């Protein structure tokens, strides 16, 4: 089963609006990462947040992490049509994970003009 589960599965917004997507996971983690995938292409790393961090920013991206609830959110502010993509969270487990990432099922974001 997937460690990370994104919510919602699909999201459609207008250009200029903010997009929020959420990720829940099950085990203790070293860090949580967000990736973007344009249709049929390879994933691109967006941001990494460590287990001892609560919030991180990168440009128009804001990521929060709540380890007590085992959840994270990715906020994209002032969205653009070019942000249309699938977004995946990935978790690095502390133990038993063989130091590898486990990916969620993704949120499909569509930003309309």
Pick the binder of another protein from 42, 82, 95, 113 (CB under 8 A).
Answer: 42
Residue 31 touching another protein (CB under 8 A)? yes
Decide if residue 102 touches another protein (CB under 8 A).
Answer: yes
State the number of binding residues for another protein (CB under 8 A). 25
Closer to another protein by CB, 15 or 45: give it: 45
Quote the DSSP letter at residue 8.
-
Do residues 97 and 112 lie in contact, with contact meaning Cβ atoms separated by under 8 Å?
no
Q: Is residue 51 a contact point for another protein (CB under 8 A)?
A: no
How far is the C-alpha of 101 from the C-alpha of 112, rounded, in Å? 32
- Contact residues for another protein, defined by CB under 8 A: 2, 4, 30-31, 33, 40-45, 48, 88, 90, 92, 97-106
């Amino acid at each position: 089963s997937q460690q990370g589960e994104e919510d919602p599965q699909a999201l459609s917004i207008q250009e200029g609006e903010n997009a929020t997507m959420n990720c829940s996971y099950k085990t203790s983690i070293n860090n949580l990462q967000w990736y973007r995938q344009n249709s049929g292409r390879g994933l691109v790393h967006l941001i990494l947040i460590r287990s001892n961090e609560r919030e991180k920013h990168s440009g128009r991206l804001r990521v929060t992490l709540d380890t007590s609830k085992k959840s994270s959110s990715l906020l994209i502010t002032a969205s653009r049509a070019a942000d249309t993509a699938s977004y995946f969270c990935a978790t690095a487990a502390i133990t038993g994970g063989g130091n590898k990432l486990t990916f969620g099922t993704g949120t499909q974001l569509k930003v309309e003009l």
